Amino acid sequence: MNNTDSLSLAQFSVVVVPGAMRLPIIILFLVTSAYLSSTADDTKDEFAVVLTLDQSNFTQTLTKHHFLVVDFYAPWCGHCKELAPEYENAASILSSNEPPITLAKVDANDEKNKDLATEYAIQSFPTLKIIKNGGKSIQDYKGPRDAQGIVAYLKKQAGPASTEIKSTEDGSDLINGDNIVIVGIFPELSGDKFNAFIALAEKLRSDYDFAHTLDAKLLPQGDSSVSGPIVRLFKPFDELVVDFEDFNSDALEKFVEEASTPTVTVFNNDPKNHPYVIKFFSTPNAKAMLFVNFSSKPFGAFESKYHDIANEHKGKGISFLIGDVEASQGAFQFYGLKEDHVPVIVINNDREKYVKPNLEPDHLESWLKEYKDGKIAPYVKSEPVPESNDQPVKVVVADNFDDVVFKSGKNVLLEMYAPWCGHCKKLGPILDKVAVSFAKDTDVVIAKMDATANDIVHEDFEIKGYPTLYFKSASGKLLKYSGKRTKEKIIDFIKNNKDDIAQQDSRKEEL
């Protein structure tokens, strides 16, 4: 975790879904120097709005607070800096809540907190966790990133997992057609099935709104004559109301997961759609993404045909999304697409992706069949191969990756970086010095590749964070470098692992 800018689906959501999982936050409140002061002593922090925690006081603090929210951050992280003033302001408001809701923070980039970051599976910054009952219950924070949104979300999370609907006003206030609401209808608020529903609500409360009632007539939609037990899911897409009667815990959870997923996820600038976009990218399915101009004349034909195809493929391992070009610039950059490709469809399947640009509505079905039949070649995103590559650190792109790394017969140290990565920027000058030190050794190549602009098609090169360094010896041995990122350590590593090409050639001649 330390010294690496983490790569995760959440970060991908930043790129593809501006305003969603990592909402850009307008800083409305200035943070005083007192709020910014940091200490590892919880007792010294007792008057601070946000508690500062670390490995030494974390467990002790958990025992003091029944409901604790922890922001795992890194000082260099831009999104963390945007969140900080909103988080501080929310903490100030929630400190006077009854009962108080406590907000805390942990510098997960600090070496002394590395075990905490591992224990809580921190893979991107900032990550917020809601920790209850001394650590017995841990859930991801999935709410807004502005102060008022944080306050509203946490008040709801601190309350009952499911609220009782006692009047038609209660029903209409909660079920307003804007989001997913799951309601249990029961003849009495007790028994195994009611308890199973409450357990489901507690488990999934960070994702959905739950309620229960004794009278289906209080609900704005659905069969009002049922007495239950039954679970009714309200949603703003596809069929608007779905009932379910199996109270087995696994069956209930599967029902909610499937019923709450749109047949076709819509990706545009409407923030109401963003939670479904995040869910789309979280699925293990292959992902089909059609990008069109929503204001263009052909959009209606594309939308209709695409929905038909999505319905035909339900439950067959492919999820479908339709995106407006206006909102899709981040996705275009990520997938290496251009606006003159529109209308364009992309299928992302594990490590490979497939692209069909400039298609017509009638092309969709036949192209998808060719993909499923294995007749479409994968698309590889690549920057142009450099016309000159005479700098100490050589530039590698997807189109010359094999030539430089595998076919050159050299010992190659390759850095895979991201332009926005702070640790990569620090490493750059160090690698320049390493390359200069090997300038007279023609057997060694120091290289770098922008892994956000080029696809890595070799499965042996695994990237979980930036920068990631690999060393490929002249004989083909592949090693991941995990040592200290100093000039001396990297040079020693190369010298200890490189092959002597002259010796190899002489051995071949002897054979």
Q: How far is CA 152 from CA 11, 22, 147, 432, 481, in A?
A: 25, 18, 9, 50, 45
For the question of whether the overall pTM of this predicted structure is more than 0.85, the answer is no
d(CA 240, CA 233): 8
Strand order in the sheet with 468-472: 394-395, 444-450, 411-417, 468-472, 478-481
Kindly tell me the sign of the dihedral angle through the C-alpha atoms of 456, 459, 460, 461.
positive
d(CA 126, CA 152): 19
Number of Cβ atoms within 10 Å of the Cβ of 199: 15
Give the pLDDT score at 45: 42
Structure tokens at 139: 């859930």
Give the pLDDT score at 47: 45
Nearest to 452 by CA among 335, 337, 302: 335
Place of tokens 């009667």: 245
Q: What is residue 276's three-state secondary structure?
A: helix
* Distance spanning both ends of the chain, measured CA to CA: 47
* DSSP class per residue in 457-481: --TT---SEESEEEEE-TTS-EEEE
Q: What is residue 420's three-state secondary structure?
A: coil
Q: What is the 3-state secondary structure (H, E, C) of 298-333?
A: CHHHHHHHHHHHHHHCCCCCEEEEEEEHHHCHHHHH
Q: Which domains does the chain have, with CATH numbers?
A: 51-158 (3.40.30.10), 163-260 (3.40.30.10), 265-373 (3.40.30.10), 394-500 (3.40.30.10)
Structure tokens at 416: 């895979």
Kindly tell me the sign of the dihedral angle through the C-alpha atoms of 245, 251, 253, 257.
negative
CA 224 to chain centre: 40
Q: What is the 3-state secondary structure (H, E, C) of 153-190?
A: HHHHHHCCCEEECCCHHHHHHHCCCCCCEEEEECCCCC
Q: Which residues are annotated as catalytic?
A: 77, 80, 421, 424
User: Within the chain, which residues score under 50 in pLDDT?
Assistant: 1-47, 508, 511
